[in-house]
Chains A and B, each alone.
Chain A
Amino acid sequence: NAGVTQTPKFRVLKTGQSMTLLCAQDMNHEYMYWYRQDPGMGLRLIHYSVGEGTTAKGEVPDGYNVSRLKKQNFLLGLESAAPSQTSVYFCASSYHRTGAVGNTIYFGEGSWLTVV
């Protein structure tokens, strides 16, 4: 099993450009998440999805859009990239919601995005 796969792994964007990060999971998970990790800060939730066709805002959703057209894929889009969006982005997935007993969350290896 591949688990959670993120593409691309590295990307450099110019301010104002757009791009999409793809997260794919092969574990038939219902719940998928996008986090960002910045130096000196903990991971912060951007958006999440509780099932195919659903999306919801997390702690820091501004400047990002998401889509979950297929259960196995969760896309994170930057419509007009800004230097403040330079970060490492992590996708995660789980079968149950975060608070469920015994629920295990699986993370991808991250996507390094630099906006210049």
Chain B
Amino acid sequence: KQEVTQIPAALSVPEGENLVLNCSFTDSAIYNLQWFRQDPGKGLTSLLLIQSSQREQTSGRLNASLDKSSGRSTLYIAASQPGDSATYLCAAYSGGGADGLTFGKGTHLIIQP
């Protein structure tokens, strides 16, 4: 059974810093890995989707990498802004049985102005 872990559970950094959020998964036979953002009281917004054949994806100040062999993905946020404050979730899709994602518990990120 796939398990997804995110470290750290919470992170607080000053505005302007570059930061890295970590995600690890136990089953390297994944089809893809996604990063989501969740604002308080809101749903999830898809940020980046990395297919198993890809090493990284970029969108604006966000860069996500995937290393299947080590079971790890990172989300890099450049020049952080207070508006980046949110919970970031990673989720893996491993195929097999149910057609759904396996989520980590998330990293709660606070960017201090």
Total count of chain B residues near the partner, CB < 8 A: 26
Task: Count CB-based A-B contacts (< 8 Å).
Answer: 70
Q: Complex Cα distance A57/B93, Å?
A: 16
| B63 interface hit (Cβ, 8 Å) | no
Inter-subunit contact B42/A110 (CB<8 Å): yes
Q: How large is the interface on A (under 10, 10 to 19, 20 to 34, 35 or more residues)?
A: 20 to 34
CA distance A58 to B36 in the complex (A): 20
Most buried by B among A40, A98, A107, A109: A98
What's the Cα separation between A92 and B36 when bound, in Å? Answer: 13
The residues of A with any CB-CB pair to B shorter than 8 Å are 4, 31, 33, 35, 40-45, 48, 50, 56-59, 90, 92, 97-99, 101-110
Binding site for A on B (CB under 8 A): 4, 31-32, 34, 36, 41-46, 49, 51, 89, 91, 93, 95, 98-106
